[in-house]
Amino acid sequence: MDSVNGAGPDRGRSAGTGADPGTVSGTADWYRNFGLHEARGQSGCYEEWALAISQDPQLLALIDTLPYAKRQPNLVLAAARFLGAGNTPYAEFRRFLFSRWPQVRQVILTRSTQTNEPGRCAVFLPSLACIAAAEGKPLALLEVGASAGLVLFPDRYRYQYNGGPILAGPASAPDAPILPCAVTGPAPLPSELPTISWRAGIDLNPLDSTNDDDVAWLHALIWPEQEFRRQRLRAALEIAREDPPRLVAGDLNQRLAEVVAEAPAEAAVVVLHSAVLAYLAPPERRKFAQTVRELGVNWLSNEGAQVLPQPGDGTEGIDADHVRGRFVLRHNGRPVALTGPHGQSLDWL
Ligand SMILES: C[S@@+](CC[C@H](N)C(=O)[O-])C[C@H]1O[C@@H](n2cnc3c(N)ncnc32)[C@H](O)[C@@H]1O
């Protein structure tokens, strides 16, 4: 899973903003919270491992030899699985980690949590369709923090809202993944998919859907029991391989304006992002928000509630328990929905 609020660089405690616990007990808390609040109900394996690590001083000491931002549970556990750790009881996982630590450490230091979840297109789609209808033009999509670019293909997937009929468009691949999404509230569910005439992404480290190591890393980032997400990833990677998106390497704040300028004039530009801004320090997030506004483009943000709060934006009125574990979808800065982190739900406000 990815950054929601304050619980790890990929699921919360931002590398740029979290206080460095600097102690074994801080890391223990991080793993305990991850096990109890992130993994529970999603992955029994990760719940067991994370809770056991939180009570394992020897392993915590090993993890604390890593730079702070690299101690995040999701990264450490994915690195071990990338190297072959199976869905095993903790004792076996622990032996694996100790015996392969130099290699695991190397993966942790060279990789980061770049989970790419095409399912998030299901929560972007209604807003994208509204923008296309309002502008009367095809869309030019620019995703910042695009990873391998799998969220850049909302026109190629198929959708099923509330178990209803399958929604597909002329560009949907016949065997495209079907993205299920449970909806509540007056969401403007579309009857057709918008036309995307141009797409591009920016990422600090774009992943390549044709590179075996990158693909293996994307698979390792999916939690052990989530086979349906692995299947979806495989199908989405096929789509990206057939029509590789333009992915620009660099920092989103540094590259945004120049890539927006590449978009064709006859299309409506939409800048979108999900599970990205938590990785930026607050001044960088504010700089990004200001730049998007100055560029005058359509802006869809799907991030944790605390990632882009603005006084009077309505999120302060949303009950904290209601938000917990979900992202806030904003259209031009205004909250419009709460969303499941993998696009599995859309609760229109
Ligand atoms: C958790 S992934 C999310 C990927 C994709 N948005 C999705 O929803 O599936 C976050 C991505 O943001 C990228 N990222 C983080 N900070 C960035 C920055 N300052 N500039 C550009 N990309 C960044 C990371 O490299 C990573 O690929």
pLDDT digits (tens, 9 = 90+) for 171-230: 998 889 999 999 999 999 999 999 999 999 999 999 999 999 999 999 999 999 999 999
**Beta-carbon-side half-sphere exposure of residue 113 (alpha carbons within 13 Å):** 27
Nearest-CA residue for ligand 1 atom 2 is 114
Q: Of all helices (H) and strands (E), which one includes residue 72? A: none
Find the 27 Cα to ligand 1 centroid distance in Å.
24
pLDDT of residue 3: 45
Q: What is the pTM of this model?
A: 0.91
| Class of residue 298 by CB neighbours under 10 A (exposed 0-12, middle 13-18, buried 19+) | buried
Running DSSP on this structure, what letter comes out for residue 165?
P
Confidence label for 307 from pLDDT (cuts 50, 70 and 90): confident
Give tens-digit pLDDT for 157-171: 999 999 999 999 999
Report which ligand 1 atom has the smallest distance to the Cα of 112.
25
pLDDT of residue 321: 60
Name the token pair of 336.
């419009």
Q: DSSP letter string over 173-229?
A: -TTPPEEEEEEESS----SSPPPEEEEEEEESS---TT-HHHHHHHHHTS-TT-HHH
CA dist 86 and 244 (Å) reads 31
pLDDT of residue 148: 98
Residue 17 has pLDDT above 50, yes or no: no
The CA–CA distances, whole Å, from 308 to 21, 198, 277, 336 equal 24, 27, 8, 14
Give tens-digit pLDDT for 243-254: 999 999 999 999
Determine the average pLDDT of the residues in 28-41: 93
Residue 323 has pLDDT above 80, yes or no: no
Residue 86 has pLDDT above 80, yes or no: yes
CA dist 227 and 217 (Å) reads 15
Determine the average pLDDT of the residues in 81-98: 98
pLDDT of residue 306: 81
Q: Of all helices (H) and strands (E), which one includes residue 23? A: none
pLDDT of residue 324: 72
Residue 19 has pLDDT above 80, yes or no: no
CA dist 338 and 123 (Å) reads 9
CA dist 122 and 141 (Å) reads 15
Name the token pair of 137.
């033009």
Pocket of ligand 1 (CB under 6 A): 2, 10, 112-117, 120, 144-147, 151, 202-205, 251-252, 273-276, 279-280
Pocket test for ligand 1, best of 117, 203, 303 (most atoms within 8 A of CB): 203
Identify the weakest region by mean pLDDT among 32-41, 136-145, 285-294, 318-327.
318-327
pLDDT of residue 210: 96
CA angle (299, 301, 307) in 5-degree steps = 130
| CB-based contact 45:87 (threshold 8 Å) | yes
Map residue 12 onto helix, strand or coil.
coil
Q: What domains sit in the chain, N to C, each tagged with a CATH number? A: 24-110 (no CATH), 118-348 (3.40.50)
CA angle (242, 244, 250) in 5-degree steps = 165
Determine the average pLDDT of the residues in 7-14: 37
Confidence label for 18 from pLDDT (cuts 50, 70 and 90): very low
The CA–CA distances, whole Å, from 7 to 60, 81, 203, 251 equal 17, 21, 22, 23
Residue 118 has pLDDT above 70, yes or no: yes
What proportion of the chain, given as a percentage, has pLDDT over 90?
84
